[in-house]
């Protein structure tokens, strides 16, 4: 358990630094233009979780630590959108299309609603 926490923490540290470097690479974040840095992070994260997830499905030795390093730690800090994408594809591969569609709709709708509610709370209090 302690080793797992260390593995996730260290790989998460690297993931957050990589995310920051992508943002720096795209210059200062302008919220009035298309958010390219976030888009790139999400797409790259989805690509990487596709690799990690497939390796895990093929029972790569040390799969548990690969999962903790790749999916939970590094990609968890880099982007959680990758986990959302992988879980949706897994549902589709398991012939659970209604759950896959529900997952997409619920994540998008609830996520946007949560942003609106959070924004409203700050604006109404501040």
**The tokens of 24 are what?**
């720096």
Are the C-beta atoms of 56 and 66 separated by less than 8 Å?
yes
Which of 16, 32, 125, 126 is closest to 75 using CA atoms? 16
Residue 92 has pLDDT above 60, yes or no: yes
Residue 31 has pLDDT above 60, yes or no: no
Q: What is the rounded CA–CA span in Å between residue 3 and residue 121? A: 39
- Strand runs (DSSP E) across 25-116, as ranges? none
| Residue 71 confidence (pLDDT) | 79
Counting Cα atoms < 13 Å in the Cβ hemisphere of 21 gives: 8
| Residue 61 confidence (pLDDT) | 66
Q: What is the rounded CA–CA span in Å between residue 95 and residue 90? A: 9
Binned at pLDDT 50, 70 and 90, residue 6 comes out as very high
Q: What is the rounded CA–CA span in Å between residue 104 and residue 3? A: 33
């Amino acid at each position: 358990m302690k080793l797992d926490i260390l593995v996730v923490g260290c790989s998460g540290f690297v993931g957050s630094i990589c995310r920051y470097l992508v943002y720096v690479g795209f210059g200062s974040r302008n919220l009035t233009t298309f958010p390219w840095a976030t888009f790139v992070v999400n797409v790259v994260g989805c690509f990487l979780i596709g690799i990690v997830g497939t390796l895990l499905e093929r029972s790569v030795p040390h799969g548990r630590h690969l999962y903790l390093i790749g999916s939970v730690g590094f990609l968890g800090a880099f982007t959680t959108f990758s986990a959302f994408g992988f879980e949706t594809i897994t549902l589709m591969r398991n012939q659970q299309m209604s759950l896959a569609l529900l997952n997409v709709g619920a994540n998008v709708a609830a996520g946007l609603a949560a942003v609106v509610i959070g924004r409203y709370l700050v604006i109404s209090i501040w």
